A and B are shown apart, each in its own frame.
Chain A
Amino acid sequence: MEFKVFDLGLVQYQKALQLQKELLSSVKTGLLKSALILCRHYPVITLGRIADKKNILVAESELKARGIQLYDSERGGDVTYHGPGQLTVYPVFNLQYFQKDIHLFLRQLEEVAIGLLSDFGIKADRLSGLTGVWVGKQKIASIGIAIKNWITFHGSSINIKKNDLDNFSLIRPCGMDIEMTSLETVLGRDIEIDHLKESLVHKLRAVFYDKKNIFQEAIL
C-alpha cells in the first residue's frame, strides 16, 4: 500500500484544510488508500479544540495588521502558529491499514521528525508527557491531529527557517511557556525547505511501512 503525495507549496491554511477534507472523503470511500499533503502556510494562528483564547497574547487587530490570519481548528491541542518557514505535513492515513492506536500515531509522527533531524546530525527527542519534538528544552516540531472513522487529518509542523520563529512570541504555544527553535537556528546556516520534502516522505514510509505494517496489510 502506498500513500499519494500532494505537494501544495505555499498555501493558505483554509486551502490545505479543504483538500484534507476532500482526501478524507476519498479515503473513506476507498478511492484512495491514504494520502499525504506537504505544504507551507502563509502566517496563520489556529486554535485547537481545547484552546484558550487567552493564549493569544495580542489583539486580533494586531494579528490583522501583521497579516496573520486566525482560525478555529478541529484538531486536538491548544493554540499554534504556522508560517512559511515551517514544513507542514498532513497525513490522511486510514489507520485501519496500520494500527488503530491514536497514541501510537502521535509517537510515529514524532519519530518521523526525529529521524529527519538526525540526518542533519541534530539530536532531537520526545519530552515525557508532552507531544512534539524537542532539541534540549526547545520545541522544534509540533503535532495536533484529528481522526474521523479511523482516518487521520491535520498533522505535524517542523520549524525550519529561523526568521519565522518571531511570530511564536504572539502566542503561548500549546498553552504553555515554550521556547521554540528551528533547524536553521540549531545548525547556524540556511536550509532550503524544498530539499527536505523527499527526505520527509522517505522517513514517513520507513516509520509507517515497517515489516509489521506490511504484514498487517497482507492479511487485510
Chain B
Amino acid sequence: MTKVILPALGEGIEKATVSYWYFKEGDKVNEKDDLLELTTDKATFNLPCPCAGVLSEIFFREGDSVNVGQVLAVIQEQ
C-alpha cells in the first residue's frame, strides 16, 4: 500500500485545491501516470502516480482544499 501525499510545493505554499482526478477509485494506474491536478492561487500542477497498482481510496474530492503533507489517496500495489 502506497500513500499519495501532497508534497512541499515551495516556500509559503501550505495548501492546494484538488482540481481534477484523472482516475477514479478502483482504476488501474501505472507509475508516473498523471494521477491528479491541483491548483494554487496562480498555478496548476499535476501529481504523478508514485507506483503502479490500483487506486484503492481517494480522500479528497475535486474542489477540496488539501494541506502539504496530507494523504490524498492510497494505491494498492499488485
Q: Which residues of A are at the interface with B, using a C-beta cutoff of 8 A? A: 48-50, 74-77, 100-106, 131, 143-149
**Please, could you name 19 A-B residue pairs with CB atoms under 8 Å apart, sorted by A?**
A49-B44, A74-B37, A75-B44, A76-B41, A76-B42, A76-B44, A77-B42, A100-B10, A101-B11, A102-B40, A103-B9, A103-B10, A104-B10, A106-B42, A144-B43, A147-B46, A148-B34, A148-B45, A149-B48
Cα of A56 to Cα of B39 in the assembled complex, Å: 21
Q: By the criterion CB–CB under 8 Å, are A102 and B17 in contact?
A: no
Inter-chain contacts of A101 with B (CB < 8 A): 9-11
Cα of A104 to Cα of B9 in the assembled complex, Å: 10
Most chain B C-beta atoms within 10 Å of own C-beta, residue among A48, A49, A102, A147: A102
Inter-chain contacts of A100 with B (CB < 8 A): 10
- The total of interchain contacts (Cβ-Cβ below 8 angstroms) comes to 61
Inter-chain contacts of B19 with A (CB < 8 A): 49-50
Q: By the criterion CB–CB under 8 Å, are A103 and B44 in contact?
A: no
Q: By the criterion CB–CB under 8 Å, are A102 and B43 in contact?
A: yes
Q: By the criterion CB–CB under 8 Å, are B40 and A76 in contact?
A: yes
If the complex has contacts A101-B11, A102-B9, are A76 and B46 also in contact, measured as CB distance less than 8 A?
no
Cα of A76 to Cα of B11 in the assembled complex, Å: 18
Give B37-64 interface residues, CB cut-off 8 Å to A: 37, 39-46, 48
Q: By the criterion CB–CB under 8 Å, are A76 and B48 in contact?
A: no
- Would you call B1 an interface residue if the criterion is a C-beta within 8 Å of the partner chain's C-beta atoms? no
Q: By the criterion CB–CB under 8 Å, are A146 and B45 in contact?
A: yes
Q: By the criterion CB–CB under 8 Å, are B46 and A149 in contact?
A: yes
Q: Which residue of B lies closest to A99 (CB)?
A: B10
Q: Add 15 more A-B contacts to A77-B42, A102-B40, A103-B10 (CB < 8 A).
A: A49-B39, A50-B39, A74-B44, A102-B10, A103-B12, A104-B11, A144-B42, A144-B43, A145-B42, A146-B44, A146-B45, A147-B43, A147-B44, A148-B45, A149-B46
